Structure formats: C-alpha cells, structure tokens
Amino acid sequence: MKKLRVGVVGCGSIAKFRHLPEYHANQNVELVALCDIVQERAEHASEHYGGGKVYTDYKEMIDREELDIVSVCTPNYLHAPVSIYASKAGVNVLCEKPMATSKEEADEMIAAAKEAGKKLMIAHNQRFVPSHQKARQLIESGEIGKIYSFRTAFGHPGPEGWSVDGKDSWFFRKEEAFIGAMGDLGVHKSDLMRYLLGEEIVEVGAFIETSAKQNTDVDDTAVCVLKTENGIVGTLAASWSYKREDNSTIIYAEKAVLRLEDDPTHSLVVQYATGETVRYELGRIQSNESGGQTGSHVIDHFVASIIEDTEVLVDGNEGKNSLMVILGALESNETKKIVNIKNDLN
C-alpha cells in the first residue's frame, strides 16, 4: 500500500512531543514536509524524522507537495486559516485544539472540509485516554444509573515550562493565542465532558481571571458552571496557577461515583453505593510533567480513518461544540450572566 504523505505546519512542542513522533512511528505514513516560520525548528524536525522538505510558508508547502494529510500545530489564531487552505487544496486536516477563535471560523473550517470531501479532525486526545473510555462505557451501559453532577479540572504551572519559547511563548500573547488557560486546558475538559456524558452542554456561567502570570493579557485561572441539555450540572476549572498538575474528573451518579485520574495508582476508581469499590489500573493519563505527549492514539486513529474511510472520533462539528462552551464562558465572564449556547451548536 502506498504511504500517506504528511506535512506538519508548526514545529513547536505539540509537534515535537506528539505529532512528529507518532507519525514517524506509523508505518502507513511518510513525513515529507515540515513548516515553521523559524526555519531552524523545521530543519531540526527534518533531521530527526526522515529528512522531509523544509518550508517557512505553509501555503507554499501545501501548493508544492502532493499531501494526503496536514497537521496544524500552530498558534491558535492560525488554526482556521491553515486548515481552510489545506482543505480547499484537497488535503485531510488534523488540527490542534481549540479548533478556532470564533464560531464563524469553525463554521468555515467545517464547510471547507465538507466541500472538498476531505476529513477534518480536531486533536482532542483526552477522548482516547483508557480511563475516560472505560468511564464512558460504564455510563452508556447504565451500570451507574442516572448522572447527577460532575466536577472536572485541568491545571498545571503554565506553558512556559513546556513550550519551546518558554516565558516568551505565543501562549501569553492574546493576538496569537486569543485565549489563555481556557483555550489551552479548559477546552480539553469541555470536550471530555461532552464525550463522557453523551450530551451537549447548553448553558455556561464563568469567572475568568488573570492572577498568576505577569505581563500577559490572557486568562490563567477560570472556574465555570455547566449545564447539559438534560439537566446535569457540574463545574469545570482550568488554570495555569496549579503548582502540581491536576487532570481529574469526578462524576456523581445514582449508583456510583466515578473518580478519573484522581488517584496516583488507579486511573479509574468506581465507588458503588453498595459499598463496593473497584479500582482500575489502566495506565496514567499523559502529562506535561512527564516530559512527553507520545502515545495519544490521535494520529493512529486519524490515519486509520483515512485508509479505511471511517468516521473520525472528533470531527469538525464535535470540535466546534466543545469550542462553543469556551466561547460561552468568555461571554459569561464579560456579561456576568449565564449564557445559553444551544442555538450555536451543530
């Protein structure tokens, strides 16, 4: 079988720790082109992953190379323009989260991929975490009964310890990032809760602050209250102010409490109302603290979906609905009102 030709736009940390090594490990693809506005980064990636051609202009790369896949690993403000350009060129797109900076951009991305007849996937890797998948099975099967409430959090000391640019990272510049911890971490959890519960989040209230980081105009700490279409209520926290990483989710149900990534040894703990407790060791969730993001299954899933012509787990519509929760939180913080996003969902 002919290998799929891959081009990666943006050779920073997310490409370095996830996209590049995972493409390199997949026998069905070939990394043929690497693009970054900092040429040395693309050259370094090329040296380590098979000698793909180096570009500093993504349009030139897409126009010149006969690509099957483009991975968009750029700052947030470029997600939509790069994805749309690639889709219109007839290329399948895997875009990092958050997929866009507005509803309008997300809609344009979805339309461009649909018109081209190509796939658009948003790289929400938390759906692939074993503890999360097991929890979804328990919820779907009805084993834990009706879901009443939840709390989910994603916090760590901030992107400066992980980004290739450290304290000078684009994450802290609003014109490039658009949004801070809520876009970096909060959107992971809005997507996760939609996936776990199997319901859309339709109402959002939020307090969003910049309290821990200096010399930035993006948020670093947020707490949101969310309500699903069937009345499940819960909280979502996203922060760059946590001194130790927290990536946990607790779900309170009729017959049990699910504790996901809340125990250092057991990635899922099920506390049944009967008094029985079942502990699962399913492997730890990926962590910035561990120094790597490989093994997410995102790339393998996307590649397989193209080869087998199957649906992707997180298509553009899914990515948009998770983004709308975050955009609703921003609006709530500004207006000091609960925001209903139901009419904006796909």
Q: Tell me, what amino acid is at 240?
A: W
Interior CA angle at 109 toward 299 and 153, to 5°? Answer: 60
55, 35 Cβ separation under 8 angstroms: yes
Q: Tell me, what amino acid is at 122?
A: I
Q: Tell me, what amino acid is at 90?
A: G
Residue in the structure block whose two tokens are 């809520």: 182
pLDDT by 10s per residue, the chain, length 346: 799 999 999 999 999 999 999 999 999 999 999 999 999 999 999 999 988 999 999 999 999 999 999 999 999 999 999 999 999 999 999 999 999 999 999 999 999 999 999 999 999 999 999 999 999 999 999 999 999 999 999 999 999 988 989 999 999 999 999 999 999 999 999 999 999 999 999 999 999 999 999 989 999 999 999 999 999 999 999 999 999 999 999 999 999 999 999 998 999 999 999 999 999 998 878 765 554 445 789 999 999 999 999 999 999 999 999 999 999 999 999 999 999 999 999 8
Residues listed for the chain: 346
In the numeric block, which tokens belong to residue 199?
Answer: 């319901």
Q: Where are the domains of the chain?
A: 4-124+297-313, 126-290+321-344
Q: How far apart are CA 100 and CA 223, in angstroms?
A: 21
Q: How far apart are CA 114 and CA 187, in angstroms?
A: 24
Within 10 angstroms of residue 217's Cβ, the number of other Cβ atoms is: 12
pLDDT of residue 161: 86
CATH code matching the domain that covers 126-290+321-344, chosen among 3.30.360.10, 3.10.110.10, 3.40.640.10, 3.40.50.620: 3.30.360.10
Name the helix (H) or strand (E) containing 59.
Answer: helix 58-64
81, 75 Cβ separation under 8 angstroms: no
pLDDT of residue 287: 63
Rounded to the nearest 10°, the torsion over CA 23, 129, 99, 220 is -120
Q: Which SS3 state, helix, strand or coil, does residue 45 take?
A: helix
The DSSP line for 79-102 is HHHHHHHHHHTT-EEEEPSS--SS
pLDDT of residue 291: 47
Residue in the structure block whose two tokens are 């070939």: 30
Output the pTM of the full model. 0.95
Assign a CATH topology to domain 4-124+297-313: Rossmann fold (3.40.50)
Q: Which SS3 state, helix, strand or coil, does residue 119 take?
A: coil
Q: Where are the beta strands (DSSP E) in 165-276?
A: 201-209, 221-228, 233-239, 249-253, 256-260, 268-272
Burial bucket for residue 86 (CB in 10 Å: 0-12, 13-18, 19+): buried
